[in-house]
Structure 1
Amino acid sequence: MTHRIAILGASGYTGAELVRLIATHPGMEIVALSADRKAGQGMAEVFPFLRHMALPTLQRIEEIDFSQVDLAFCALPHATSQAVIGELPRDLKVVDLSADFRLRDPAEYAKWYGQPHSQPELQKEAVYGLTEFYRDEIRAARLVAGTGCNAATGQYALRPLIEAGVIDLDEILIDLKAGVSGAGRSLKENLLHAELSEGTQAYSAGGKHRHLGEFDQEFTKAAGRPVLVQFTPHLLPMNRGILASVYVRGDAAQVHATLAARYAAEPFLHVLPFGALPSTHDIRGSNYVHVGVTGDRIPGRVLVVAALDNLCKGSSGQAMQNANLMLGLEETAGLLMAPVFP
């Protein structure tokens, strides 16, 4: 059986990544693509790398016949997404890639995103889309909220350790480096080549980054008590990839064993041999996550490093993994491509 797919917001990076992934998916067919300013154009005009594909013309969302759609990926900006999903048919399966349904508490959403949530009932319905930790809930869900790409990277490094109680929960530091595509496709002065290349910078430092809302929510749930982490992201002049260096207190061998045991059966999570650390080169363009652990010369201090592709496993690949579960398909379908190297 082939499932009919719509991608709302197909002219952005995550929308294009979804098209790329669905191109080789054995059980999905794209029947509708939406865009706002680029409505009426073909995907080959917007993304020439997709010109070999026969794809629907971009159209406005209100022009799509959703009775002919089995599942919609919503790759729209924050705030826009909740308004659009609120108007979709209530029996339509939806995977949202924005931040609009990630936080369960409406007050927390207002705190981190600066405005009240317009769809609080849908917010209650949404399942958090960190696939490896919410698999059963996702299978039964109608609406799944994709995680933030930074939030996913930090959780893959830390969540099993918090659940197992093998690290000090009051001393967790996440130092993260992210590629520029994580900022989206809109024109921004600080992302111009002349402003970004040959340098790096911290941003949203001092506890201001919105993905801290996800860390607070998910780590506190995993621990059964409040957990607050120190988190500083940095923007690097590379197109794709996230690398998180996570500093914790514990026994390095136990930390490595805990992660290796938790992810042993996971198709996309690979824990490297003790002492080996991952690179963004090794996961580029793929749905894989590499996690490495090493000790420190200071006893009791441990470094955990996690790397993933922000557009794939951090967003669109994770969205497809969740959609596969929602549609009763093989979870890995369309996602087993090898990373791109060099």
Structure 2
Amino acid sequence: MTGVAIVGASGYASRELIRILLNHPGAEIRVATSRQDDSPRVDALHPSLAGRIDLACEPFDADRLAERARVAFLALPHTASMAVVASLRERNVRVIDLSADYRLTDAQIYADWYGHTHTDAVGLKEAVYGLPELYRESIPPAGLIANPGCYTSTSILALAPLIRENLVERTGIVIDAKSGVSGAGRSPKLSTHFPECNESFSAYNVGKHRHTPEIDQVLTDVGCAQGDPVEVIFTPHLVPMDRGIFATIYATPRGPVVEHDLLDLYRSFYKQSPFVRVVSHLPATKESAFTNYCDITVRVVRGKVVVLACLDNLIKGASGVAVQNFNLMFGHPETTGLAL
């Protein structure tokens, strides 16, 4: 049984992570931390967990955490994780970071997009991008996993087969993506206040969303044999639903393409990936909600390749893939605990 710590236990992703780990035969949650002064109980933060976990949150203390846990899941705000990662790794605690602090490999790009200087150059260099479908061989020995986000997972999984096989142009790819309101986190904000977002549909951060360089970076790595960098046009939208990500992606083929051949390519590419479902029908967010599945299909429309993909932003887009990474790191079958 592996001792687990949840660092930053108050958010939506943390709630889903705790719920999954409580059913995991190889994990025991021994530490939960919160930056709140009153050290609340976990079931007070998340009443849906009442009767399932008897644990109070505590302030973060690397020494005390390392005495009880072998791995820490960090569910902290962006720029906050890097302040604690080094202290945990010095104490031989392996880290799965759900924030964006270690996803970008270039510290300057991180500073440009997040407006904050990266203070852990060693960690940034050694972190492994935690998308098992693409980096399954690199994850097991890693001491620091950069867990991908929801928009990035959807977009990268949707495009990876096309980029790997060099079937589409690597610039001018349009990602039109929608997210449920939980993707904005649990902290109150005017834009996600119910009267502001209910019965409304809007785009945000057009041309400057922080996931853009992450998508470019990973897809460029996927297609490294071709050499040219991938550059996407990524536009996120807020949809008045609790959870889910849906992306419609448009790419220009480099030559003639046939729809059923592309579906066969996707099925072959993901045949060893238990949580990617390549479907023939048009997917919908309700089909992947509360699961760790990413559903993908592909169409050819007027000479363009159109990929449609969706997943649950709190599970496959956050806590579920974090548990996939945990499973790979600690020798469990990748699906353990994730039959949701």
TM bracket (short chain):
over 0.9
Is 1:303 the counterpart of 2:306 in the alignment? Answer: yes
Q: Counterpart in 2 of 1:219? A: 219
Once structures 1 and 2 are overlaid, which stretch shifts more, 300-309 or 246-255? 246-255
Runs of at least 4 residues of structure 1 off by over 6 A? none
Deviation at residue 39 of structure 1 after TM alignment: 4.4
Contact residue 43 and residue 53 of structure 2 kept, 8 A: no
Q: Counterpart in 2 of 1:165? A: 166
Q: Counterpart in 2 of 1:282? A: 287
Contact residue 88 and residue 95 of structure 2 kept, 8 A: no
Contact residue 66 and residue 89 of structure 1 kept, 8 A: no
Query: For the residues of structure 1 that align with 2:31 and 2:314, how far apart are their CA atoms?
Result: 21
Q: 1:267 aligns with which of 274, 280, 288?
A: 274
* Residues 154-183 of structure 1: per-residue CA shift (max 9 Å, x gap): 001001110111122233111001011111
Q: Counterpart in 1 of 2:143? A: 142
State the secondary structure of the residue aligned to 1:137: coil
Deviation at residue 329 of structure 1 after TM alignment: 1.3
**Unaligned runs of at least 5 residues, structure 1:** 338-342
**Unaligned runs of at least 5 residues, structure 2:** none
Is 1:121 the counterpart of 2:128 in the alignment? Answer: no
Query: For the residues of structure 2 that align with 1:69 and 1:55, how far apart are their CA atoms?
Result: 17
Query: For the residues of structure 2 that align with 1:302 and 1:103, how far apart are their CA atoms?
Result: 28
State the one-letter code of the partner of 2:289. Answer: R
Q: 2:324 aligns with which of 315, 321, 332?
A: 321
Query: For the residues of structure 2 that align with 1:20 and 1:290, how far apart are their CA atoms?
Result: 22
Deviation at residue 89 of structure 1 after TM alignment: 4.1
Q: CA RMSD in A?
A: 1.3
Deviation at residue 56 of structure 1 after TM alignment: 1.5
Deviation at residue 147 of structure 1 after TM alignment: 0.9
Query: For the residues of structure 2 that align with 1:177 and 1:281, how far apart are their CA atoms?
Result: 14
Contact residue 78 and residue 101 of structure 2 kept, 8 A: yes
Deviation at residue 313 of structure 1 after TM alignment: 0.4
Contact residue 82 and residue 119 of structure 2 kept, 8 A: yes
Contact residue 272 and residue 292 of structure 1 kept, 8 A: yes
Deviation at residue 81 of structure 1 after TM alignment: 0.6
**CA distance 1:24–1:244, change in 2 (3 Å):** same
State the secondary structure of the residue aligned to 2:138: helix
How many residue pairs are counted as aligned between the two chains?
Answer: 331
Deviation at residue 219 of structure 1 after TM alignment: 1.7
Contact residue 89 and residue 95 of structure 2 kept, 8 A: no
Contact residue 166 and residue 254 of structure 1 kept, 8 A: no
TM-score using structure 2 length: 0.94
TM-score using structure 1 length: 0.94
Identical aligned residues as a percent: 42
State the secondary structure of the residue aligned to 1:61: coil
Once structures 1 and 2 are overlaid, which stretch shifts more, 240-249 or 250-259? 250-259
